[in-house]
Amino acid sequence: MKKQITVFVFTILLSIAAVAQGGYKIGDKATDFKLKGTDGKMHSLKDMKDAKGYVVIFTCNHCPFSKAYENRIIALETKYGPKGYHVIAINPNDPEVNPADSYDLMIDRAVEKGFNFPYLIDAGQKIYPQYGATKTPHVFLLDKNLIVKYIGAIDDSTEEENVEIPFLANAIDALIAGKAINPELTKAIGCGIKKK
């Protein structure tokens, strides 16, 4: 019982602590984008013909928080991609500010880790401000009509073995089941986005 209360209080605190951000809010309609992926092709949400929803994750190569979540992001695509809820990862960082986030090194990282989802570069940093992403990783769950349903963290611990609340997975499960998502908003924990 004590653990359940602690988890509940932690969830409430995360929701309250979620920074007021610019960009999309819950219920907003996201605009599509066309960004270059590590496969050399341009990708947009509308290209995913079987999509029932979209898991847009702003992440990068160098951030230790992003690296800690890579296996979990791969697992999310493995579990939910076949159900029509695909992961789309976007690197929002300016490679001139942080050369470790260059397009060529993104290709290397995607191959090294065996990414099973598109890994795109936000060249010119035009997309992440629209979303209101502030960290890597930062998640935006959209339904098939591009309506924002969840914003925030993937789960409640950077250490996979210590995860108690899989916020994003719970949100996707609720969306699939046609149920209310709770919480809809959590605080993204990670590295600040590197801007020009």
Mean pLDDT in consecutive groups of 10 residues from the start of the chain, 196 residues: 46 41 92 97 94 98 97 98 98 96 98 98 96 98 98 97 98 98 97 92
Nearest CA to 106 out of 91, 126, 127 is that of 91
Give the total residue count for the chain: 196
* Contact indicator for 53, 143 with CB cutoff of 8 Å: yes
pLDDT at 22: 82
Q: What is the reported pLDDT for 154?
A: 98
Strands 135-136 and 119-121: unpaired
Instruction: Copy the structure tokens of residue 79.
Output: 């579990």
pTM above 0.75, yes or no: yes
Between β-strands 119-121 and 85-91, what pairing exists: parallel, antiparallel or unpaired?
Answer: parallel
Residues 169, 154: Cα–Cα separation, whole Å: 8
Residue 60: per-residue pLDDT: 98
Residue with tokens 């951030």: 63
Domains of the chain (ranges, CATH numbers)? 2-192 (3.40.30.10)
